[in-house]
Amino acid sequence: MPNLSVKLGRVNLKSPVIIASGTFSEELLDFLNAKDLGAITTKTITLKPYSGNPPKRTCETPCGLLNSIGLENPGLEVFLKKNLPYFLKLKVPLIVSISSLKKPQELVVLTRELDKIKDIFAIELNISCPNLRKRYLISQDSKATYQVVKKVRYATQKPLIVKLSPNVTDITLIAKAAIKAGAEIISLINTLMGMCVDIENRRPRLSNLTGGLSGPAIKPVALRMVWEVYRCLKVPVIGMGGIIEAQDAIEFLLCGASAIGIGTANFINPKVSSEILAGIKEYLVKNKINDINNLIGGLKDET
């Protein structure tokens, strides 16, 4: 049986399959074995409770889903009291995703509180959510990214993951800034900004006008960005964006991802994570690869 454990920065995961932020629910456990997962990422939390954007907040598109949920969450205090105990019972490495609605200093406060909890595996710094009414994202500016990541890095000893936006000209410049500031792992990609239009009412279908596009439609963009960052920086990357079957996951691994995040596919097929892991095993056996780590970054780049 091939080895499926992967090294993500300074830690090891049992498998490369991670449930992406905002897509885990208790019902998934009726269809898959949580112990097969490499990690689970929580829905992004903020310092204070936030109700998110008003409806309508989702819209199906060809080969994708557009959402403008807007970081709806109960806030840090409720998360620690009600949500965290449940996650810890699962005995699966837990990545807590955090963001700020107003001042970036909120990220430091959040990080310091989470750093106190031994059983939290890592912190994911979400500076790339496109569903907020902001003129720009932190992750669209290399200097802003560096400043925020550096402040958060000082606030924790845990592995620090930074989730970046695809809505930029050169993803490597932003990734370099994050790594230089102390990030250990880069998460690629967050959703692409898009719109849906109701031609009968001549209005946007989303209340927030724009939203984040996820699903199979964005996979080519995600693959390209994972490959660019891996080739340029050789840093651990969690690849995500449109992964719905084992072939997709293998493509991300070949492009340099050390682990892969399963997101929108969980809403379509609750068994998808187990099926993808089984498909990866089958591929490794078929190709006589004894260790999944020998697959990572194995893309034959002819340039």
User: Which of 126, 45, 38 has its CA nearest to residue 90?
Assistant: 38
- DSSP string spanning 73-97? B--HHHIIIIIHHHHHHTTS-EEEE
Maximum pairwise Cα distance, the chain: 57
Contact yes or no for 177/143 (Cβ under 8 A): yes
Say if strands 11-13 and 211-214 run parallel, antiparallel, or are unpaired.
Answer: unpaired
* Neighbour tally for 136: CB within 10 Å: 10
DSSP-derived secondary structure letter, 189: -
Q: Which of 59, 129, 196, 255 is catalytic?
A: 129
Residue 129 designated active-site: yes
Q: Which residue has tokens 């719109």?
A: 195
* Cα 252 to Cα 220: distance, rounded to the nearest angstrom: 10
User: Which of 289, 233, 295 has its CA nearest to residue 2?
Assistant: 289
* Cα 28 to Cα 273: distance, rounded to the nearest angstrom: 10
Sign of the Cα torsion 259, 163, 51, 90 reads: positive
Query: Which residues are known to be catalytic?
Result: 129
